[in-house]
Amino acid sequence: MEWDTDKIDEMALAVMFFSMFDEKLFDDTYYARMWKGLSWAITDRMHEKGWIADPRSKNKSVVVSEEGRKLAEELAVKYFARK
């Protein structure tokens, strides 16, 4: 069976929305991070799409781009909000 990797990436991002948190930098600015626990193939594609920073690090979380943060919330509402 052939899988639609774009749909997989969207669902993964929507689920990762629920593990998103803000981290404060030294200059009092914040940026979003989310826990990564998915396959490298999925997180690599998310990185290629500009949704997250390079996931290949020793960190257990990854920085989320502003575009990725907005899309994650939109997808979480689309797929998981009660109507």
| pLDDT tens figures, 19-62 | 999 988 777 788 899 998 889 999 999 999 999 999 998 889 99
Domain span at residue 34 reads 5-80
Q: Let me know: does 11 contact 79? Beta carbons within 8 Å.
A: yes
Q: Rounded distance, CA 56 to CA 13, Å? A: 17
CATH number at residue 61: 1.10.10
Number of domains in the chain: 1
The whole model's pTM is what? 0.85
Structure tokens at 22: 């803000």
Tell me: pLDDT of 79 over 90. Answer: yes
Residues 6+ apart with CB under 8 A from 32: 20, 21, 22, 23, 63, 64, 68, 69
